[in-house]
Structures are given as C-alpha cells and as structure tokens.
C-alpha cells in the first residue's frame, strides 16, 4: 500500500515530523528546513529511480541504492553541515536536525522499495 501512495505519504509524514521538530527546538532555522527538503527530494528521487530501473537493471539496484546513500551523506557534508555552522546550533541539536529527517525518509524509502521490488513482474 505504501508503494502506491509513497509520494503523498512521505510528504505528509515529513511535514508532521518537521512541524513537531521545529516546535520542540522552538525555532525554525534555515538548516532544519534545508535538511528536511534535501532528504525528501533525495528519497523521492531514489525511489523513483530504483522503481524505474527495476525491470532493466535489476542486478545493479543494490549498487545504485548504495550510491544514492552516499549521495545523501555527500549532500550533508557539502550543503547541510555549513548551514549548521552558520546557524550556530548546538552539536546535539545539529545532529538531530540531520538524523531525524534522514532516518524518517530513509525508512519510508526503503520500506516502499522493498514492497515494490518484491512484487512479481
């Protein structure tokens, strides 16, 4: 079911998580917004790409998934980490600002992909 409604589900879940996260840290720093947006975009792109390559390149999907995971961490180090420094957030807060959206989007993406890739045909 999640694989059919992946796009609206990931948007709804991350919007709820973002709202809760911003309320808990009592701020909405630029880094938090960027972290959620980047993770959602990368998860949606990864889901779309792997779903599209399922039939013609099934033997390469594991490597592509690993490359996409590496891309997520590269985006963190190149784009998001400098934002955390600019916003001068506490280190544990900065960690949660990356790890919470990353874990939510990665879980939803992986769960939906497992369902899609295990379907016959």
- CB 83 within 8 Å of CB 32: no
Sequence spans of domains, the chain: 6-117
* Most confident range, picked from 14-18, 62-66, 68-72: 14-18
Sequence-ordered list of residues with C-beta below 8 angstroms from that of 43, at least 6 positions apart, any chain: 10, 105, 106, 108, 109
CA distances to 9, 66, 93 from 16, in Å: 11, 27, 18
Q: How far is CA 38 from the centre of its chain?
A: 7
pLDDT digits (tens, 9 = 90+) for 17-41: 999 999 998 877 888 899 999 999 9
């Amino acid at each position: 079911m999640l694989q059919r409604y992946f796009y609206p589900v990931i948007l709804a879940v991350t919007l709820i998580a973002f709202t809760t996260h911003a309320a808990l840290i009592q701020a909405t720093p630029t880094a938090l917004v960027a972290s959620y947006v980047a993770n959602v975009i990368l998860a949606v792109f990864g889901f779309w790409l792997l779903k599209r390559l399922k039939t013609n390149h099934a033997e390469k999907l594991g490597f592509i998934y690993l490359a996409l995971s590496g891309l997520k961490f590269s985006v963190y180090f190149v784009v998001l980490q400098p934002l955390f420094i600019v916003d001068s957030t506490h280190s544990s807060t900065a960690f949660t600002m990356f790890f919470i959206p990353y874990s939510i989007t990665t879980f939803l993406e992986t769960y939906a992909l497992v369902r899609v890739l295990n379907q016959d045909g």
